[in-house]
Amino acid sequence: MAFLSATLNRVKPSPTIAVSTLANELKAAGRDVIGLGAGEPDFDTPQNIKDAGKAAIDAGKTKYTAPDGMPELKQAIVDKFKRENGLDYTPAQISVGTGGKQILYNALMATLNPGDEVIIPAPYWVSYPDMVLLAGGEPVVVECPIETGFRMTPEQLEAAITPKTKWLIFNSPSNPTGAGYTRGQLKALTDVLLRHPHVWVMTDDMYEHLAYDGFEFCTPAEVEPALFDRTLTCNGVSKAYAMTGWRIGYAGGPVELISAMRKIQSQSTSNPCSVSQWAAVEALNGTQDFIPENNKVFVRRRDLVVEMLNQAKGLECPVPDGAFYVYPSIKGCIGKVTKAGTLIENDEIFAKALLEETGVAVVFGAAFGLSPNFRVSYATSDDALREACTRIQTFCAELS
Ligand SMILES: Cc1ncc(COP(=O)(O)O)c(C=O)c1O
C-alpha cells in the first residue's frame, strides 16, 4: 500500500505468527493442542515483587517518572551490574525501557545510518534482523551451525567485519538454542573486536540467570574491560523474575549513547510503567532465592525433553547451557513423508505437519535464521512436555 512507509516495507511479517495462528485456529476448532512456542516462564511473578507493585499503587506512585527510568531503579541497576557482573556504571550510564525489546530498539534507532551493518549470529532471536532493518541498517547474518554448538567462531566474526560494521549483537545463553559462551569462547571473540575499534557490542544478557550445570555466565565488558566504552550491556527482569508482562528492560553503556536513547524514548513512549519500575526495584534488590529453585525445575524439564527428543527417529537434540529452549535438528527427517502424506522439504513444513497431525505447536528454525531445526520452549508442565515429546516421537517414527 503506497500510504505505508518505505521503511516498513523492509520488514517481514513475523514468521512465527503463521504457527501461532494455525495453533489458535486448531484450538478454537476443539483440537487438543500442546503449545511449546511461548517465550516466557510459566511461573508466577514472586510474591515479594507483586507486593512491591501493589504497594506502589497504594502509595500513589502512579505518576510520570524520568523518561528513561526513576533514580531508585537506576541505582538498583547500578548495584546489580557491580554485584553480579563486576561492571562499574553510574546512574547516568543507565537506561530503563519498556522491556528488553525497547532497549535494543532504541539503541539501534539511536545509532544506525543507512548502510550501517550489524553482525547477527544465527540462530538469532527473531526480532534482531527486523529491528536493524526498521532502523535503516543492514543485518549481516552469520550462520553458526550445530557442529560448532550454535556458537560463532572468532574466524567467522573476523570474516564478517567490514568498514561498515557498527554493532555485533551477542546473546548468551541464547534464544532459540540455549547455547552459552564460556569465558574462553567469549574472550576469543572479544580479542577479534579489539583489533576493530569501530565495532561496538550490543550484548543481550536476558537469560543471564537461567544457566545450568554450573555454566558460568559472563558478559563482554567484564571479560574484556577494554571494550567497556563501546559496549551496551542489555538485560531485563522479564525472564529470571517471571515478569514478562510488567515490561521492564534496562542497559548500561556510554553516556552519549544512553542520552541518545533517552531522546528517542522521551519523544515516543516516555517512562516505562511507574508501578512496574517499583516492582523491578524489589526484583533486583530483594531475595534471589527463587531463581535456583526455578532453575531446578527448568533443568529437570530440559533433561526430559532432550532425552525424549534424542530418542525420536531423525532428530538430534544438543543439551543447552541455559534459557528454556532446545533447538533440535531435523536433518534426518528431510525428504521423508508423514503419515498423512506430506513431504518434509524443510523445517517450516515439518512444524506445520507436526501441528496438524499431532497438535504439537513448535516454531520452525527458518524463523531464527538456521535450518533445518525447530525450537521447543520447555517452560511448561512436565506432563505437557512428556505428552508432546511422545507425540513427536510417534510422528517421527511414522515418517517413511
Ligand atoms: C533474547 C531475548 N532478548 C530480548 C527479549 C525481550 O524481552 P522483553 O520481554 O523484556 O522485551 C527476549 C524475549 O523473548 C529474548 O528472548
User: What would the grid cell of residue 81 be?
Assistant: 551490574
Matching residue, cell 541497576: 77
Residue 206 CA, ligand 1 centroid: distance in Å: 6
Q: What is the pLDDT of residues 338-371, one digit of tens each?
A: 999 999 999 999 999 999 999 999 999 999 999 9
Residue 71 to residue 58: CA distance in whole angstroms: 20
CB-based contacts of 293: which residues, under 8 Å, 6+ apart?
Answer: none
Asked, for residue 374, whether it belongs to a domain, the answer is yes
Domain boundary among 285, 302, 325: 285
Low-confidence ranges of the chain (pLDDT < 70): 15-17
Instruction: Record the pTM.
Output: 0.97
- Please indicate, yes or no, whether residues 124 and 39 belong to a single structural domain of this protein: no
Would you call 299 helix, strand, or coil by DSSP? helix
- Please indicate, yes or no, whether residues 215 and 271 belong to a single structural domain of this protein: yes
Asked, for residue 1, whether it belongs to a domain, the answer is no
Asked, for residue 50, whether it belongs to a domain, the answer is no
Our count of domains for the chain comes to 2
Please work out whether the CB of residue 105 comes within 6 Å of at least one atom of ligand 1.
no
Please work out whether the CB of residue 272 comes within 6 Å of at least one atom of ligand 1.
no
Q: What letter represents residue 28's amino acid?
A: A
Would you call 241 helix, strand, or coil by DSSP? coil
Q: How would DSSP label each residue in 167-202? A: EEEEESS-TTT-----HHHHHHHHHHHHT-TT-EEE
Residue 175 CA, ligand 1 centroid: distance in Å: 8
What is the SS3 assignment for 327-359? CCECHHHCCCECCCCCECCCHHHHHHHHHHHHC
- Please indicate, yes or no, whether residues 277 and 309 belong to a single structural domain of this protein: no
Residue 212 CA, ligand 1 centroid: distance in Å: 19
CA 132 to chain CA centroid, Å, is 15
Residue 370 to residue 18: CA distance in whole angstroms: 18
Give the closest residue (by CA) to ligand 1 atom 16. 175
Please work out whether the CB of residue 325 comes within 6 Å of at least one atom of ligand 1.
no
Please work out whether the CB of residue 244 comes within 6 Å of at least one atom of ligand 1.
yes
- Please indicate, yes or no, whether residues 298 and 275 belong to a single structural domain of this protein: no
Torsion angle of alpha carbons 139, 143, 149, 154, nearest 10°?
-70
Q: Which atom of ligand 1 is nearest to the CA of 125?
A: 1
Identify the pLDDT of residue 9.
84
Q: What is the pLDDT of residues 221-278, one digit of tens each?
A: 999 999 999 999 999 999 999 999 999 999 999 999 999 999 999 999 999 999 999 9
Please work out whether the CB of residue 127 comes within 6 Å of at least one atom of ligand 1.
no
Domain boundary among 248, 265, 285: 285
Q: What is the pLDDT of residues 68-80, one digit of tens each?
A: 999 999 999 999 9
Asked, for residue 55, whether it belongs to a domain, the answer is no
CATH number of the domain to which 31 belongs: 3.90.1150.10
- Please indicate, yes or no, whether residues 281 and 334 belong to a single structural domain of this protein: no
Please work out whether the CB of residue 206 comes within 6 Å of at least one atom of ligand 1.
yes
Give the full edge-to-edge strand order of the sheet including 138-143.
Answer: 94-97, 249-252, 231-236, 200-204, 165-171, 117-122, 138-143
CB-based contacts of 58: which residues, under 8 Å, 6+ apart?
Answer: none
Identify the pLDDT of residue 11.
86
Residue 125 CA, ligand 1 centroid: distance in Å: 8
Residue 208 CA, ligand 1 centroid: distance in Å: 12
Asked, for residue 294, whether it belongs to a domain, the answer is yes
- Please indicate, yes or no, whether residues 68 and 34 belong to a single structural domain of this protein: no
Identify the pLDDT of residue 16.
66
CATH number of the domain to which 90 belongs: 3.40.640.10
Identify the pLDDT of residue 156.
98
Would you call 167 helix, strand, or coil by DSSP? strand
- Please indicate, yes or no, whether residues 319 and 209 belong to a single structural domain of this protein: no
Identify the pLDDT of residue 40.
87
Asked, for residue 94, whether it belongs to a domain, the answer is yes
- Please indicate, yes or no, whether residues 142 and 250 belong to a single structural domain of this protein: yes
Domain boundary among 285, 307, 327: 285
- Please indicate, yes or no, whether residues 369 and 229 belong to a single structural domain of this protein: no
Asked, for residue 178, whether it belongs to a domain, the answer is yes
Pick from 171, 206, 219, 237 the residue to mutate for probing ligand 1's pocket: most ligand atoms within 8 Å of its CB.
Answer: 206
Residue 4 to residue 296: CA distance in whole angstroms: 48
Q: What is the pLDDT of residues 49-58, one digit of tens each?
A: 999 999 999 9
What does the DSSP 8-state code read for residue 211? B
Closest CA to 207 of 123, 325, 303: 325
- Please indicate, yes or no, whether residues 254 and 390 belong to a single structural domain of this protein: no
- Domain of residue 37: give its range: 6-44+290-397
- Please indicate, yes or no, whether residues 39 and 73 belong to a single structural domain of this protein: no
Please work out whether the CB of residue 288 comes within 6 Å of at least one atom of ligand 1.
no
Cβ-contact 290, 179 below 8 angstroms = no
Give the closest residue (by CA) to ligand 1 atom 1. 175
Asked, for residue 372, whether it belongs to a domain, the answer is yes
- Please indicate, yes or no, whether residues 329 and 214 belong to a single structural domain of this protein: no
Cβ-contact 48, 67 below 8 angstroms = no
